[in-house]
Structure 1
């Protein structure tokens, strides 16, 4: 696996394949042989699944924040705000409706499905994200998809808690709604923003300003891992959303000394750890597919899954970009390339571990199918589409 992390990206540059597709195929192949008695089914290893996906996502969020060259701002990040404020709520509502009307799920389970499908994935979206810090590879499509993935992983969390509340029967009670609005929506978001900014500001001072302009106090990119874990842990202690804190921390560190080359070193460390853990997860995902993760999937489930990838996200994305002034081809790419992956697995595992949703076998099958379709479809099409867009822009 480590050799694949090192060598596979070079061999896949000219092929319509991604590292994610290769890992899933490898997992299916290896676990289909019966060589391992271990069955990596997330339904069995529910707590381990939650924790491992949690770790991968926060490391990915740090890398995503560090490589954004564009300073944060209302107009500069307008694409991001549109996708978060319009596309994400529309996606949650549409997927929840499909869960109730198309799959026959309870309202609580349908809300959990909608919340799990809301965030675009920062882990599997490397092929559609911006390049490393100061690489210049930051067109509007790549920037929008990167910044969206960095923030909507946290902003989907209140809707997971809403599904848990519905499963507990408190969705239509005054105390339940009040707790959700004040704590799950209000305090946790504010704590994530505040602690993330504070940790990022402190690390920015220590790294770039402790000795003088242009110098760094810490000469090892591993400091990015330290910042990730401290921001996340401190925010969890404050009962906030750690995902939001890690991304805000990364953006704050980047803004403290925007053009320093040390950002590239920190990003490289985060990127290597992320790719290693991503490959492990995807090989295990392939093993889960080989061991029957989709065995309970019905034709109606598959149709709903395809609708989520091919209809819900594209339509929600296009609605969000109405009036943006961007060319239609850029709007189409922003709407289409809403990759689902590790973040969705985390939210599903978190919800099932913290709420009583009953039998979740079909729910796991639907989410697993959607992730598989996204890995294959977006993996094959993302690079050619973005390369074509770049060529058109150059002409």
Structure 2
């Protein structure tokens, strides 16, 4: 049996530690409303160079770089899988300009910042400047979830990050080959480099199209679709990366883009699984890279590194975005937000470290400083944008709003009155229905409405879904309510998706599995029962609980009233499924459905 090196955790314990810290950091960030990337970065640095608990090079040896490379490939594929051209909408022109104009302009400006800010040679500056085109989908995605940006600026940032990632890697390859040719040490011609790039794009398209054909013709059973997808991603990356280093990133992005736009019936299931896998991989990669940090190497950085980071954040990024978006119809607020949001992530650190070593081997003396500079830039932008994106979006009016909104599905007397009560509580509310006649009363009452199917593509383009955190399905169709809540549960969270009770729900013959549909509101009353209550004169009430007027007082003064939900001081809406054990603190408000006042007998 092999003897482990002193101080080594062992590969199994190291994997467990990385997984626990990565996922734990993301969970803690969710609980504390903090940027997950910042916590992961801090956790990796703490267990690595600070405490010396984990040394990835010692635990995994030469496998660290291949593992990181494969993880980045899967992350980029998942990013490509979200790039549905039909969902781009009015962000199309902006994305096109950020890629076609922004990428080369960003390369030029980054190169100048490296040359005159960081003091690097032209060779190292040109290679590293190409890598700096990337803005990091591994960082952008968690930040967008936290900041709850409106649809168009979120789409611009997400598409730019995903599409420019492989472009940045390819730009670095081209620049590096140019440096080798000028130094007379190149073993690969420009023609071979161009062939590798074209081969990667074609291979990614071919693998993606092949998988689409297999899935569409039902040549792969449902339980094997995800394994086939994973195998295809790894095969496409390995095949193309073996022809030209870093071209695999282009291949997997193209592959994801092809599958995303193929309109596959099982697309949503595939995408959600890939999202979950990506969360795990982002966690692991960030912990590993942060734990691999060497303070001695970072000690090579001087004051010019800080000047370089400042130039990138204050000059390079804003100038690139503002010039690229000239002539578009984007409001200045959206341009400003995008211009001052450019966090870098895993791809920049991984690719910069690789090319830094190759530059040093090729005789470029300052190539060794490229890796530390990349890490400094990533750390600075992750912390900066992690804490400023959400406040800046709110200040510019581009976030989903401070108060969590409620999405009511189905127009009726019940939902219209409910919407009026929520509006009185200053909660954003939207009432939707595919039947125009069902929305007339709501529109007359001044309730925001959407005429159409909430599951349709028109809803994705027209509704800022990030403004809403709670869904209530209350149509007259029990099957549709079940469909809506089941479909939206992964997006909103199963604890935030509710529905009215189904007719004969408690009968065994008509009961559905617990994983279908959301939780029930209204003390088990169906659509017809709730409508009958409204016709009989029941009304919604909004009552604040105070020290003088407790929950017991409320119950004593409102016999027969039905408690639907409670609102805390932050206007978070919580539906009540068990009123017997309900605990309501001082300052909270009760949303209830109350019977009509009893008719007083006429005086004799």
TM-score by length of 1: 0.82
2:69 to 54, 59, 62: 54
Q: Once superposed, what is the RMSD of the aligned Cα atoms?
A: 3.4
Query: Unaligned regions of 5+ residues in structure 1, if any?
Result: none
User: Cα distance, 1:166 vs. partner?
Assistant: 4.4
Deviation beyond 6 Å, 4+ runs, structure 1 = 72-76, 392-395
Cross-structure match for 2:586: none
Change (3 A) 1:188 1:138: farther
**2:43 is equivalent to residue 26 of structure 1:** yes
Deviations 1:70-107 (A, max 9, x none): 33889863222211121221221112122222333221
Superposition pairs of residues 264-283 of structure 1, within 5 angstroms: 264-283=268-287
Aligned residues of 1:99 and 1:110 also touching (Cα < 8 A): yes
CA distance in structure 1 between the aligned counterparts of 2:78 and 2:384, rounded to whole angstroms: 24
Secondary structure, counterpart of 2:344 in structure 1: coil
Match in the other structure for 2:398: 389
Query: Structure 1 residues 94 and 50 mapped into 2: Cα distance closer, same or farther (>3 Å)?
Result: farther
Q: Secondary structure at the match of 1:13?
A: helix
Structure 1 counterpart of 2:206, from 195, 198, 214: 198
Shift of 1:326: 0.9
User: Relative to 1, partners in 2 of residues 1:225 and 1:61: Cα closer, same or farther, differing over 3 Å?
Assistant: same
Give the equivalent residue in structure 2 for 1:379.
Answer: 386
Point out the structure with the larger strand share.
2
2:89 & 2:354 partners in 1: Cα distance?
32
Equivalent position to 2:375, from 358, 365, 368: 368
Distance 2:112 2:128 in 1: 10
2:386 and 2:57 mapped to 1: Cα distance? 23
Alpha-carbon separation, structure 2, partners of 1:79 and 1:223: 34
Which residue, out of 338, 341, 344, partners 1:337?
Answer: 341
**Count of residues in Structure 1 that have an aligned counterpart in Structure 2:** 377
SS of alignment partner, residue 102 of structure 1: helix
CA change 1:26–1:323 in 2 (3 A) is same
TM-score, length-scaled by structure 2: 0.56
- Determine which structure has greater relative contact order: mean sequence separation of CA pairs < 8 Å that are 6+ residues apart, divided by chain length: 1
Please point out which of 133, 144, 165 is paired with 2:177.
165
Post-superposition Cα deviations, 1:115-149, rounded to whole Å, max 9, x if no partner, equal: 22111112222124589xxxx99822222222222
Structure 2 portions without partners, runs of 5+:
1-17, 402-462, 468-604
- Relative to structure 1, the CA distance from residue 209 to residue 390 in structure 2 (aligned partners, 3 Å threshold; closer, same or farther) is farther
Name the one with the larger helix percent: 1
Distance 1:85 1:109 in 2: 24
- Specify the structure having the higher radius of gyration (Cα): 2
Q: Deviation at 1:239?
A: 4.7
Contact persistence 2:101–2:324 (CA under 8 A): yes
Shift of 1:28: 2.3
Report the equivalent of 1:229.
Answer: 234
What pairs up with 1:315-354 in 2 under 5 angstroms? 315-354=319-358
**Take 1:238 and 1:364, find their aligned partners in 2: how far apart are those partners?**
24
Q: In the TM superposition, what is the alpha-carbon distance from 1:16 to its structure 2 partner?
A: 5.0
